[in-house]
A and B are shown apart, each in its own frame.
Chain A
């Protein structure tokens, strides 16, 4: 009796409460009701349990879908009604939760191997990756004339592109003030263009082939090997499944150099697609604008082709394969030089033949999309013969790489891991003859066989913390056991703030001749110490990214700092003796380090006008002959400004880039008695470009080095190139001055 009264009372109270909430819910607006919906696999239409649903504006409040793939999430304050749905093995999606509509969110499986990269709006600085990653999209790539990879970095402040010498035309990238060789270049996440290909590698990939570039500063993943020290540059080529059926690019500049590119792609069956990427460039004329008797740019011809295949079964199996071939000839040096009748003239000749291939196979478990198994294979044959004056340098490198990669989770998707085995094979054969008259032929042959195992664990708390810890152990046939630990942490302390930290070890075996081929164009004698050890370095650094609102649009502020300390380095000393280039291990008790600070701001003050400004401070020093001195040719200060304007739908695009370089330390000229660093002057370069887009056509024109700034005497002792004072390797500024160009692109989607 008693209990039934109590019961009815309780019911009445409950009824009142319900009525009150219902009334409340009816009167103001329906948007306070939680958002409800279901997450489905786009292909099978089956529910996806365990996916993380959160608000773009408030990442802290997250919900996880249940066994039916259903979720319910309270709305945050604010007007932004975009939801992000994330699940490992799927591409993240952003949807708008408008009104009280029940959402059905189809998620697409990401069958690609490698990094699961999420670029909702292709932010230049991704807010999602645990590493400090900067993304160059194909749209950014059209900002500079972009004949090859070297020019792709011209509108970017992180990566420096420098010329190695005044005669061979080779270009190098620098990351964190360290030479290009310390940056691991990967093509589709597979190490590529390593070893002997390093000096000219930026010319081996044509700009129009490239879909996008990720620049990862500091220590990256252990999955790609132990070689990255300053960072990693990953290049995505055009995807046969998605790229345009036909893309044609033609470019010509006022020196008579032309570039032609043709990309063809087709879908043979719904599952099989292929892309053929073709490139050729040619500079035939002898150009000497600074009247020093030397060609400012070598005459060069390149034929380059790449064929990519992709098979996507639609139920988890993806196969990819690519085949590439390249032939390049270059000829530089004095105006009077002819390859077959050199006469008394100094000449540089080069012939490169390169074949490369790769294959990737991946399988993702149905129903368990977070679990996948992949096999990655690649092989390269790189062959060249070259002569620099009386020096001859020929080489061949055969490389094979195999990686078996397994990815899965522990319990929930908060704990994921990647583990696998790898095998690296390199066969280097180099011959160097310092003078055609002598018989002191130097043969450098090296065969590396490196089996290894790696593991990488990722913790993700679904809102603001990601920790990636990796460890790899390799057994090098020449240098024994190599242990490589790495750690990456990403933490979002506030809605628009991202902090990243990276630490770890990197290791590589130097190729002293190939990496210093610019120094061949000088009278310096190469003195290489016989017992070169692998280069080992620890790197610690981090970055802070702040997204903010300026002028009603999103702006980004990035600051990063990295410290790289070498335990051993193959030190290239051009200071100690003006007549020699001393290459040897870092002296015991000596130091070698790089400290790099970068601050960059990106804003859009007017609709369509993007402004990017950056300042970089580099402190790169090494002990040379017992004295700690700044690394040759590395500027301490650098400024960068890019203004990019685009009208609606990119019909017109215009760019202006200013690059300011501080003083650079130079090595003493051969034959001089001066010791210690001398400095190059400060200068700035201005580049500009304008593009007009039509439905299928694009026309572009631009000027590089608008102010026609030149290094006055890039070649020391140019009058007597076989004499003791000849040196073309101290290039700190432009050699050929202003250059204008014109081009067009044609696309059939």
Chain B
């Protein structure tokens, strides 16, 4: 089957990709990165998982961490690939307020009940 070599290749790619990620961590980062801090309406660990995952799939995002008690989202990104405005909008489209700008309504309605703004931080 033709498929099998390509499968092996993709396996190799994963392994090499993992190794690459490890080396860049220790070395100084190549391209310049910027950090953005956003005050969100996230209230729980489920929001944290949701928001961090959504950020991970945004172009140019290197790292995203949400501190649940303070509701602060810290995003490290490459300014040549994305912008603070694009990331703010991405947070809104995930269903959360970002620095006072309201969440996208449709996305907010789809949040699980425990992630709604009516809840305390929990």
Q: Chain A residue with minimal CB distance to B68?
A: A96
* Contact string against A for B residues 50-76, beta-carbon threshold 8 Å, 1 for contact and 0 otherwise: 001100111000000000010000000
The reply to whether the CB of A495 lies closer than 8 angstroms to some CB of chain B is no
* A327 interfacial contact with B, CB 8 Å: no
Q: What distance in Å separates the Cβ of A650 from its nearest Cβ neighbour in chain B? A: 8
Distance of A708 Cα from B86 Cα, bound (Å): 49
One of A95, A103, A105, A688 near B7 (C-beta < 8 A): A688
B69 touches A104 (CB 8 A): no
Known: A95-B44, A96-B122, A749-B110. 10 other contacts (CB 8 A): A103-B122, A106-B114, A106-B118, A106-B119, A108-B113, A654-B11, A690-B7, A695-B57, A703-B3, A749-B107
| Complexed CA–CA distance, A589 and B80 (Å) | 81
Q: Which residues of A contact B114 (CB under 8 A)?
A: 93, 106, 108
Which residues of chain B come closer than 8 Å to A746, judged between CB atoms? none
Segment 88-132 of A: residues with Cβ below 8 Å from B: 91, 93, 95-96, 98, 103-106, 108
Interface residue range, chain B? 20 to 34
- Indicate if B28 sits at the interface (CB-CB under 8 A): no
A96 to B67, CA, bound (A): 14
B101: Cβ under 8 A from any A Cβ: no
B118 touches A703 (CB 8 A): no
For A254, the chain B residues whose CB sits under 8 A away are: 1, 3
Q: Contact: B3 with A652, CB < 8 Å?
A: no
Give, as a whole number of angstroms, the nearest-CB distance from B26 to chain A. Answer: 18
Q: List the A side residues contacting B44 at CB < 8 Å.
A: 95
Give the residues in chain A near B10, CB-CB below 8 Å.
690, 701
Partner of B57, one of A95, A103, A647, A649: A649
Q: Are A647 and B14 neighbours in the complex by a CB distance under 8 Å?
A: yes
8 A–B pairs (Cβ distance < 8 Å), ordered by A: A98-B69, A104-B120, A651-B57, A690-B7, A690-B10, A701-B6, A701-B10, A740-B1
Closest residue of chain A to B59 (Cβ to Cβ) is A695
Query: Is B14 in contact with A654, judged by CB distance below 8 angstroms?
Result: yes
Interface presence of A368 (CB below 8 A): no
Q: A93 — nearest CB in chain B belongs to which residue? A: B114
The 8 A-B pairs with the shortest beta carbon distances in the complex, nearest first, are A740-B3, A108-B113, A695-B57, A649-B56, A95-B122, A104-B120, A649-B53, A106-B119
B109 within 8 A of A: yes
B56 touches A242 (CB 8 A): no
Cα-based distance from A749 to B110 in the complex (angstroms): 9
Known: A104-B120, A105-B122. A694 touches B109 (CB 8 A): no
Complex alpha-carbon distance, A749 and B45, angstroms: 20
Q: Is B4 an interface residue (CB 8 A)?
A: yes
- Asked if A694 contacts B118 (CB within 8 A), the reply is no
The residue in A106, A645, A650, A654 that gathers the most chain B C-beta atoms within 10 A of its C-beta is: A106
Q: A648 at interface (Cβ–Cβ under 8 A)? A: yes
**Interface 1/0 per residue, B6-48 and A, CB below 8 Å:** 1100110010011000000000000000000000000011000
Which one of A98, A270, A694 has the highest number of Cβ atoms from chain B below 10 Å of its Cβ? A98
Whole-angstrom CA separation of A105 from B3 in the bound complex = 52
- 0/1 interface trace, chain A 685-701, chain B, CB 8 Å (1 if under): 00010100111000001
Q: How far is the CA of A694 from the CA of B7 in the complex (A)?
A: 19
Write the chain A residue with the least CB distance to B122: A95
CA distance A95 to B57 in the complex (A): 27
A242–B6 Cα distance when bound, in Å, is 37
Known: A103-B122, A254-B1. A701 touches B113 (CB 8 A): no
| Chain A, residue nearest B45 (CB) | A96
A282 at the interface (CB under 8 A from B): no
- B residues near A636, Cβ cutoff 8 Å: none
Does any Cβ of B come within 8 Å of A738's Cβ?
yes
Q: Does A580 contact B (CB under 8 A)?
A: no
Q: Measured between alpha carbons, how far is A105 from B120 in the docked complex, in Å?
A: 8
A654 and B113 alpha carbons, distance in the complex (Å)? 32
Report which of B1, B52, B109, B110 forms a contact with A703, defined as CB distance below 8 A. Answer: B1
Q: Which residues of B contact A429 (CB under 8 A)?
A: none
Write the nearest CB–CB distance from B61 to chain A, whole angstroms.
Answer: 11
Quick check: A651 and B11 within 8 Å, CB to CB? Answer: no
| A151 CA to B117 CA, complexed, in Å | 40
Q: CA–CA, A695 to B57, complex, Å?
A: 5
> Is A14 among interface residues, defined by CB-CB distance under 8 A?
no
- B109 & A738 in contact (Cβ 8 Å cutoff): no
Closest Cβ–Cβ distance, residue B7 to chain A (whole Å): 7
A270 to B10, CA, bound (A): 44
Do B56 and A42 touch (CB < 8 A)?
Answer: no
